[in-house]
């Protein structure tokens, strides 16, 4: 798959948009992936937002290793970085995020959701504004804006194309997490690596034996490599292979 067209032109304007809007906002909500929260943070954001607070949402915690997520929350607490673990798709998401915000900030609440593609920005915003007013999906760039959404309780949400581009897009974990597309030529190596995370003793070919055992075969009984790789990547993403985190606090750099 070609990467061309992946990032619409309006994202070039994101830095300026964020800098310009920051003074009007009480905070930015940065959505990261609970399975690799430092890897999926957008480093330049902290500078772009200036003095406006950033609150990290460690989203998709339903598919992350719960103990690792807890360790991350403690790690951020120690680093004095506002962070909350969330499952945006869960029914209690609105309540959880609202309380995380009101615990840290005084009203009025004027907020915006930012972060790398596919981490759940639209899902978070939908949860907060209700009535599915924001489109979600696999493709970034579906959100058009900026547009203020005013809630009855006085909260205001800015629906802006808050997607920022990843700097570590060549890291295989970014493809596994869906931040960038999986290059079909790399699917096999990604599948092997994730298989070894689930099974630390596994050899290089063991993931193919799993495919065979599942009946992912081509004519002649040869294992269907592509289908097996796709199934492992899908199994990681849905956690049907188990809840697995890709990054633990001790692996992250000291700069956060
Ligand atoms: N497992 C899980 N998936 C989620 C969660 N939140 C969002 N997603 C999925 O992540 C994908 C991207 O979500 P979306 O809100 O469109 O991300 P955006 O590109 O950042 O706006 C969609 O397939 C969502 O269903 C969550 O809390 N848990
Ligand atoms: Mg979106």
81 is written with which tokens?
């970085």
Q: What is the 3-state secondary structure (H, E, C) of 178-245?
A: CCCCCCHHHHHHHHHHHHHHHCCCCCCCHHHHHHHHCCCECHHHCECHHHHHHHHHHHHHHCCCCCCC
**Lowest model confidence (mean pLDDT) among 32-46, 162-176, 222-236:** 162-176
Angle at alpha carbon of residue 75, lines to 253 and 37, rounded to 5°: 60
Ligand 1, atom 7, residue with closest C-alpha: 120
**What is the atom index within ligand 1 of the atom nearest the CA of 59?**
27
Note if the pTM is more than 0.85. yes
Residue 158, SS3 per DSSP: strand
Give the model's pLDDT for residue 167. 83
Ligand 2 center–CA 204 separation, angstroms: 36
Distance CA 186, CA 189 (A): 5
Asked whether 137 lines ligand 1 (CB < 6 A), one says yes
Asked whether 119 lines ligand 1 (CB < 6 A), one says yes
Per-residue pLDDT for 88 more than 90?
yes
Tens digit of each residue's pLDDT (9 = 90 or more) over 49-61: 999 999 999 999 9
- Are the CB atoms for 54 and 45 separated by under 8 Å? yes
**Lowest model confidence (mean pLDDT) among 48-57, 161-170, 174-183, 207-216:** 161-170
- Are the CB atoms for 171 and 177 separated by under 8 Å? no
Tens digit of each residue's pLDDT (9 = 90 or more) over 212-249: 999 999 999 999 999 999 999 999 999 999 999 999 99
Mean pLDDT of the chain: 89
Mean pLDDT for 123-137 is 75
User: Ligand 1 pocket: which of 120, 126, 165 to mutate (most atoms <8 Å of CB)?
Assistant: 120
Ligand 2 center–CA 77 separation, angstroms: 28
When pLDDT is cut at 50, 70 and 90, the band that residue 4 belongs to is: very low
Per-residue pLDDT for 67 more than 70?
yes
Nearest to 115 by CA among 125, 106, 107: 125
Per-residue pLDDT for 83 more than 50?
yes
**What is the atom index within ligand 1 of the atom nearest the CA of 137?**
16
User: Ligand 1 pocket: which of 96, 114, 118 to mutate (most atoms <8 Å of CB)?
Assistant: 118
Angle at alpha carbon of residue 129, lines to 126 and 135, rounded to 5°: 30
Ligand 1, atom 26, residue with closest C-alpha: 60
**What is the atom index within ligand 1 of the atom nearest the CA of 89?**
27
Per-residue pLDDT for 255 more than 80?
no
Tens digit of each residue's pLDDT (9 = 90 or more) over 203-221: 999 999 999 999 999 999 9
Give the model's pLDDT for residue 15. 86
Ligand 1 center–CA 221 separation, angstroms: 37
Asked whether 114 lines ligand 1 (CB < 6 A), one says no
Give the model's pLDDT for residue 130. 85
- CATH 3.40.50.300 domain span(s) along the chain: 9-168
- Are the CB atoms for 238 and 250 separated by under 8 Å? no
Other beta carbons within 10 angstroms of residue 205's beta carbon come to 10
User: Ligand 1 pocket: which of 88, 123, 163 to mutate (most atoms <8 Å of CB)?
Assistant: 123
Ligand 1, atom 14, residue with closest C-alpha: 120
Asked whether 63 lines ligand 1 (CB < 6 A), one says yes
Give the model's pLDDT for residue 102. 97
Q: What CATH code is assigned to 9-168? A: 3.40.50.300
């Amino acid at each position: 798959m070609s990467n061309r067209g992946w990032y619409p032109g309006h994202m070039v304007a994101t830095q300026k948009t964020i800098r310009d809007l920051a003074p009007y906002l009480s905070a930015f909500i940065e959505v990261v992936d609970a399975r690799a929260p430092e890897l999926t943070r957008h480093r330049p954001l902290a500078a772009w937002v200036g003095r406006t607070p950033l609150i990290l949402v460690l989203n998709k915690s339903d598919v992350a290793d719960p103990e690792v997520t807890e360790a991350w929350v403690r790690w951020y607490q120690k680093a004095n970085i506002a962070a909350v673990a969330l499952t945006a798709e869960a029914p209690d998401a609105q309540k959880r995020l609202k309380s995380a915000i009101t615990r840290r900030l005084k009203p009025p609440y004027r907020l915006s959701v930012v972060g790398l593609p596919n981490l759940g920005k639209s899902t978070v915003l939908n949860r907060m504004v209700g009535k599915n007013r924001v489109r979600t999906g696999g493709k970034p760039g579906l959100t058009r804006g900026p547009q203020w959404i005013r809630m009855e309780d006085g909260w205001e949400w800015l629906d802006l194309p808050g997607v920022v581009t990843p700097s570590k897009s060549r890291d295989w974990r970014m493809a596994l997490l869906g931040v960038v597309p999986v290059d079909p030529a790399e699917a096999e190596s990604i599948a092997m690596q994730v298989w070894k995370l689930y099974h630390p003793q596994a050899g290089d070919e063991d993931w193919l034996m799993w495919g065979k055992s599942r009946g992912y075969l081509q004519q002649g009984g040869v294992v269907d490599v592509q289908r097996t790789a796709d199934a492992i990547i899908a199994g990681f993403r849905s956690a049907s292979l188990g809840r697995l985190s890709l990054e633990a606090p001790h692996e992250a750099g000291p700069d956060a």
